[in-house]
Amino acid sequence: MEVSFNVDIVKLQKRILKDTFFKMKIDFVFISANEVKINTPINEVIMGELVQLLNPYGISIMSDPKEMLIQKIKNIINEVVKSQEANRSINISEYISERIGYSYRHMSTLFSELTHTTIENYHILQKIEMAKFLISTNQYSITEIAYKLNYSSTAHLSNQFKKKTGMTPSEFQKILLRKKALIHKVSLDTYDTK
């Protein structure tokens, strides 16, 4: 039996952090999904315990200011992509600069140095990942997805999607449908033999 899950990673991460901080009796407040303000004084021993408790979940604590800045940029981009429909007129470079308080040029240079890609490319990749997710839900047409992700047209989405994945959104959708049909057929064949 195959079971599919739709996981809200941000919600899951927040739950893990809440439970861990509660277990350690550490008072904190979320600043963003990936950033907290700790109100309880903690020493190196407690920090070590915190690292050990979070590590099995793939959560690590960043201490390098450059890495922290890169993560803030990624968080903002992910937030914008998830709420793109509500932010139709947003200029991503201006928005990131305003939110973080650094010049876009400085952040762009640092981002490229540390991630080996540009902020623009990361933004496009996140939009494509969101498009894949929306396609997989079968709730929206490709045109609706293009609108939701603030593309100027369906063709624009299709071109970027093909450049990044090697296939068009329609081809991706057909592959998903074939996979689901095959899984369904295998499930029926297995059931018939019992």
Residue 186 lies in a domain: no
Residue 150 lies in a domain: no
Type of residue at 125? L
Cβ(77)–Cβ(92) under 8 Å? yes
- Given this model, what pLDDT does residue 121 score? 96
Cβ(52)–Cβ(30) under 8 Å? no
State yes or no: pLDDT of 82 exceeds 70: yes
Residue 42 lies in a domain: yes
Give the total number of structural domains in the chain: 1
Residue 30 lies in a domain: yes
Between residues 75 and 155, which one has the greater pLDDT?
Answer: 155
Residue 45 lies in a domain: yes
- Given this model, what pLDDT does residue 116 score? 96
- Given this model, what pLDDT does residue 186 score? 63
Residue 35 lies in a domain: yes
Q: 56: which DSSP letter? A: G
State yes or no: pLDDT of 193 exceeds 60: no
Question: Cβ of 29: how many Cβ atoms within 10 Å?
Answer: 9
Which of the four pLDDT bands, split at 50, 70 and 90, describes residue 184? low
Compute CA distances 50 → 19, 59, 109, whole Å: 11, 10, 32
Question: What does the mean pLDDT of the chain come to?
Answer: 88
Residue 67 lies in a domain: no
Question: What tokens were used for 119?
Answer: 């902020």
Residue 51 lies in a domain: yes
- Given this model, what pLDDT does residue 190 score? 58
Q: In degrees rounded to 5, what are phi and psi of residue 132?
A: -60, -45
Full domain range(s) for residue 34: 8-61
Q: Rounded to the nearest 10 degrees, what angle do helices 104-115 and 92-100 cross at? A: 100
- Given this model, what pLDDT does residue 181 score? 80
- Given this model, what pLDDT does residue 127 score? 94
- Given this model, what pLDDT does residue 88 score? 66
